[in-house]
Structure 1
Amino acid sequence: MKVKDMLFKPQCDEAEWHPNFKKIYDEKLPFARKVIMDWADGFVDRDNKFVKEFQTTFNSSFWELYLFAVFKRLGLEINMVYDRPDFLIEGDSGFTVEAVIANNATNNAPEWDKENLEKVIQDWPLEKIIDNATLRLANSFVSKSKKYLKSYKELGHVKGKPFVIAMAPFDSPFTNQQRMQAIHRVLYGLDRYITIDWDEENRDILDEIFMESIDKTNGSQVPLGYFTRPEYSHVSALIFSNTATFSKVRILSDDPRLTLVGYSKYNDYGTQSIEDVKFKGEYKEDLLDGLMIFHNPYADIPLNNRELHNSIIAHSTFEKGLGEIRSYIPHEFLFQRFIYTFMEEDKLPPQEVVLGVENAIKQAINESKSEFPIYRT
């Protein structure tokens, strides 16, 4: 039986199911399951454990299926014969990909735990969210770098091809708030810019804040800026998305239930990001939205696949001589998105409930805005 047809056929007792899998499995409507099954069309379970892991640990398998769907969408030739690394892309500009997610630390709330979110969020200011994501992403990057050197480097189908790490954050219930700050720290050491936005069209960059390392809770330090020095030249690039979550499945599906979408997008024509809340029927999102590729300027084998230079995908690299980041970010690139679906399957929610949720989302967006000039540190 094909993987796509097995994903939602239980392979273990319900007590072993991951909460995210259980939520999707228990839905009466089939639309979310259909999207994921479409992503998995053609996927091969090479080690005979993928389906069970999809049901028991979920997030890493979900991320692999998203990547598989992306590669199919881009028309890449995917070789599913080898069981490691996760993907082998064939062709003149082929490359290898190892997928990884950043999980929550042992004592922190997992990504799926939304039950006590209002209470938990008081202990998670934005600074803590970014610091936590930085540590978890750095840990995942280093582990896969070591894995390549120990287990993949000498494989015949890997030699001579760019090695790419594909990473997604599932490190806390607040992953959608980290945008690109944490991954910029990890790869390029860039923490933030200090700027003044004078109006909708004029911005002055006053300074750049870089970080060489970050402190762990036990007092030890974790180095940052892996793509700013040659020690990691074996890693050609990193594919990243913090919006390839179940919310994307919900938006791409034909689910008729009322859904509100709040979002923040890059504005190539002004100083302020594009932020709004819309009903799903008025909002458009592509499979590739939110996908960014970070290139390693020290790469032994650079990633030069032309199919990856899609008008929706963002790219970034570090100019060694100048010590500066160079990026191509398309207009309306998706930085952040969250949704609210009214879960009643057989009736519309009362109008006052819909308006209440819509106003709450708009208020959350507006609270982050200020009057000009806007000083950002």
Structure 2
Amino acid sequence: MKDIFTSIVTEDKLNPVFELLRTGKQLDPAKLLIEEITSEMDDNDGNFIQQFQTTGFLSRLWEIYLFKFFKENGFSFDTTNNRPDFHVEKNGIDFFIEASLSNEVGDDKFTREYIEEASKNNVIEVQTELIEHYVMRMGSVLYSKLQKKYWELEWVEGKPLVLAITPAHNYMAKFLPDSKIVEYLYGLSYEAESDGEELIPKKVTRTENHKYGEKEIPSNFFKLPDTENISAIIFTNNSDLHKFNRMGYQNGLSKELIIMQREGLAFDNTPNAHPIEFSQAIIPGDIKENWNEGVSIFHNPNAKIKLEKGLFENIRETWLNDDGELTGTMPDFFPFNSMTMPVGISLGESTTGNNV
């Protein structure tokens, strides 16, 4: 695809975040990187650019991320069919991926203003509500994808099918603990420690259901009807515009002078296994980050067709062992969440970047 930033709709229909990306100097590295990536992508649906510029901006950005993620991991793409979103192959192993995210909904009360006001007034209950709502939204996304029954398609039948999800339903979604994803998928709540090589669960308890207000859904997604057709779940909360901006800037794509600082919490790969704070200055030529950082693959223990383990390096992989216990691997550095503050400087003028 070419000219992805050339408007093909009227100005009043442009997504405001797309418009900020297209014109904001502080996001110039992200824009240039997205142009570079999408130049190698095919528009199988015929409406990729239109959706990227309007109502489907976040969904299409997620697909751009996944395309780059698989490409960087040595996969090739078969674009013969346009459903599911990706058909990838490496070393004789091929599988399908359907991408989805928890988009904003009209009645979501957790606006940025609402969350910031609650934080200012120290309303602790809001944090619990946010987490419960988070599970509901992510569970809804996965359940809706089950209804598509992609495994019944002739070209998918007999191949592993993976659902790739990312949270984007409100301002705080990418900062919430992804341990709730593990809990929802397996019906197990746990704390973990590490011996330096493996992730070792401890204090494991079973979770039967998840509640938010009057809504209640069963836990253990991998035991729901039809989920035996899903081989694994790919998850990350590290795929937003800030990710593209950091990756573009550290690789020297932009000539803008940008002060970019990233701070967050990461897994402590020691027996203590407590989250640790980290801080990074993003500098051109100083490569600190890659596309695998912050990615998890959760293997379905009940899958009819398993996804082979170890297809990717330096990601978190989780599965159940023969005793039904959670186990897996963790990379040396795994960020749970992070915040990036950019400031673009051009011709002596500066523009402060927004949290997008």
TM-score range, shorter-chain basis? 0.7 to 0.9
Give 5+ residue unaligned stretches, structure 2. Answer: 194-199
Q: Secondary structure at the match of 1:290?
A: coil
1:304 aligns with 2:316: no
The answer as to whether partners of 1:134 and 1:182 remain within 8 angstroms in 2 is yes
Report the CA distance shift for 1:294/1:52 in structure 2 as closer, same or farther (over 3 A): same
Paired position in structure 1 for 2:126: 125
Q: Indicate the larger mover: 205-214 or 294-303.
A: 205-214
Could you tell me which of 211, 217, 224 is aligned with 1:215? 211
- For 1:114 and 1:7, locate their aligned partners in 2 and report how far apart those are by CA, in whole Å: 29
| CA drift at 1:191 | 3.5
Q: Indicate the larger mover: 250-259 or 272-281.
A: 272-281
| CA drift at 1:242 | 0.5
The answer as to whether partners of 2:190 and 2:202 remain within 8 angstroms in 1 is no
Paired position in structure 2 for 1:13: 10
Report the CA distance shift for 1:239/1:328 in structure 2 as closer, same or farther (over 3 A): same
Paired position in structure 2 for 1:328: 329
Paired position in structure 1 for 2:67: 68
Task: Give the structure-1-normalised TM-score.
Answer: 0.80
| CA drift at 1:340 | 0.9
Report the CA distance shift for 1:52/1:214 in structure 2 as closer, same or farther (over 3 A): same
| CA drift at 1:16 | 1.5
Q: How many residues align?
A: 331
| CA drift at 1:94 | 0.4
Q: Secondary structure at the match of 1:259?
A: strand
CA deviation vs aligned residue, 1:260-306 (integer Å, no higher than 9, x gap): 11022212124233312232237811121001111001110000165
The answer as to whether partners of 1:99 and 1:166 remain within 8 angstroms in 2 is yes
Give 5+ residue unaligned stretches, structure 1. Answer: 196-203, 354-377
1:150-169 to 2 correspondence within 5 Å?
Answer: 152-169=150-167
Could you tell me which of 241, 261, 271 is aligned with 1:246? 241
Q: Indicate the larger mover: 284-293 or 274-283.
A: 274-283
- For 2:32 and 2:201, locate their aligned partners in 1 and report how far apart those are by CA, in whole Å: 46
The answer as to whether partners of 2:29 and 2:246 remain within 8 angstroms in 1 is no
Q: Secondary structure at the match of 1:257?
A: strand
Task: Give the structure-2-normalised TM-score.
Answer: 0.84
1:1-377 to 2 correspondence within 5 Å?
Answer: 3=1, 5-28=2-25, 30-56=28-54, 57-90=56-89, 92-108=92-108, 114=112, 118-119=116-117, 121=119, 125-147=126-148, 149=149, 152-193=150-191, 207-217=203-213, 219-228=214-223, 231-254=226-249, 255=254, 256-271=257-272, 272-281=274-283, 284-304=288-308, 306=310, 308-310=311-313, 312-319=314-321, 321-347=322-348
Q: Indicate the larger mover: 179-188 or 275-284.
A: 275-284
| CA drift at 1:116 | 6.9
Q: Which letter does structure 1 place at the counterpart of 2:96?
A: T
| CA drift at 1:115 | 6.3
| CA drift at 1:184 | 1.1
Report the CA distance shift for 1:31/1:205 in structure 2 as closer, same or farther (over 3 A): closer
The answer as to whether partners of 1:315 and 1:327 remain within 8 angstroms in 2 is yes
Q: Secondary structure at the match of 1:75?
A: coil
- For 2:68 and 2:337, locate their aligned partners in 1 and report how far apart those are by CA, in whole Å: 21
Report the CA distance shift for 1:343/1:114 in structure 2 as closer, same or farther (over 3 A): farther
- Percent identity over the alignment? 25
Q: Cα RMSD (Å) of the superposition?
A: 2.7
| CA drift at 1:168 | 0.6
- For 2:201 and 2:147, locate their aligned partners in 1 and report how far apart those are by CA, in whole Å: 37
Report the CA distance shift for 1:25/1:71 in structure 2 as closer, same or farther (over 3 A): same
- For 2:151 and 2:226, locate their aligned partners in 1 and report how far apart those are by CA, in whole Å: 15
The answer as to whether partners of 1:261 and 1:278 remain within 8 angstroms in 2 is yes
Report the CA distance shift for 1:46/1:305 in structure 2 as closer, same or farther (over 3 A): farther
